[in-house]
């Protein structure tokens, strides 16, 4: 990412010592059934965190709880030392593709510009400068030529890039991405990884829900292993180990074999 870009090169103020995200004893339940139980961890500035666990482990619920979208039965969540509502502008969210209504009549450029609505306001005019910033984010994701295309006409990978561009244009400090690599092409996956690393290097923090165990060691410097509770959290080299994965996945041999193979071919991020 070039120094003159609008989204990400601004390093986090090193004088700030408050963690981007601090969760203490978080418990969430639906119909009296726990979905998250006593979850505690602290995400540091300038970290790229893979949130890993089986289906139904509470990963998406964790993100919803962080954004204050669902009630919690206990615990505390601090975003830059405050409530989420007070720090909302510093947080960007990329939802699962399956949760989005792709038939909504809007262009890709308009979707990206939505990332600026907290700055623009819902009833004020989008200016040329706003459009320029949106286009710059799209250019970084390689989709500037799609700005005038209907979002429903784009491929899955192009749609995912569009939503990531919307997050980038917010110039946030904390990014929450829910399965951004799901059903995308190899080129899109490579671009997403590059952008996430640039954000990390600029002092930003990203939590990424991820299912491909083989790529965890090469994509993330930190891992949160989650299955109702925190099984392990820390540096990938220390945490992404067979014993912790056994506890997380409950003996699913195929997944453990994939993880073993990934650790064997581990690369430095």
pLDDT over 50 at 269, yes or no: no
Q: What is the spatial distance between Cα 23 and Cα 77, in angstroms, rounded to a whole number? A: 5
> Domain with 198 in it: what CATH number?
3.40.50.300
* Within-domain flag for 9: no
pLDDT of residue 266: 53
Structural contact between residues 201 and 192, judged by C-beta atoms closer than 8 angstroms: no
* Within-domain flag for 6: no
Strand-by-strand arrangement of the 174-178 sheet: 91-94, 174-178, 205-209, 48-52, 222-227, 229-235
The more confident residue out of 261 and 33 is 33
Residue ranges making up the domain that contains 46? 21-264
* Within-domain flag for 128: yes
Domain count, the chain: 1
* Within-domain flag for 7: no
* Within-domain flag for 170: yes
- The structure's pTM equals 0.84
* Within-domain flag for 3: no
* Within-domain flag for 208: yes
Q: Which tens digit of pLDDT belongs to each residue from 52-74?
A: 999 999 999 999 999 999 999 99
Q: What is the mean pLDDT of the chain?
A: 86
Q: What is the spatial distance between Cα 24 and Cα 167, in angstroms, rounded to a whole number? A: 26
* Within-domain flag for 8: no
pLDDT of residue 62: 98
């Amino acid at each position: 990412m070039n120094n003159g870009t609008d989204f990400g090169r601004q390093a986090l103020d090193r004088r700030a010592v408050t963690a981007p995200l601090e969760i203490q004893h978080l418990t969430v339940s639906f119909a009296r059934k726990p979905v998250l139980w006593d979850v505690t961890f602290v995400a540091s500035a300038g970290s790229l965190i893979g949130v890993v666990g089986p289906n139904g482990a509470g990963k998406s619920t964790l993100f919803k709880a962080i954004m204050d979208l669902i009630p919690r039965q206990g615990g505390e969540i601090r975003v830059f030392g405050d409530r989420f509502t007070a720090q909302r502008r510093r947080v960007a969210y990329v939802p699962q593709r399956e949760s989005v209504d792709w038939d909504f009549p809007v262009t890709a450029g308009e979707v990206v510009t939505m990332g600026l609505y907290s700055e623009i306001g819902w009833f004020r005019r989008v200016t040329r400068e706003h459009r320029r910033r949106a286009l710059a984010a799209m250019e970084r994701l390689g989709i500037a030529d799609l700005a005038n295309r209907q979002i429903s006409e784009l491929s899955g990978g192009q749609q995912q890039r569009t939503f990531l561009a919307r997050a980038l244009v917010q110039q946030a400090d904390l990014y929450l991405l829910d399965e951004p690599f799901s059903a995308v092409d190899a080129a899109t996956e490579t671009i997403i990884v590059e952008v996430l690393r640039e954000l990390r290097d600029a002092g930003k923090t990203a939590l990424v829900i991820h299912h491909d165990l083989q790529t965890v060691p090469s994509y993330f410097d930190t891992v949160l292993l989650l299955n109702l509770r925190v099984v392990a959290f820390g540096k990938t080299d220390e945490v992404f180990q067979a014993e912790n994965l056994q506890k997380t996945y409950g003996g699913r041999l195929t997944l453990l074999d994939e993880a073993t193979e990934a650790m064997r071919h581990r690369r430095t991020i």
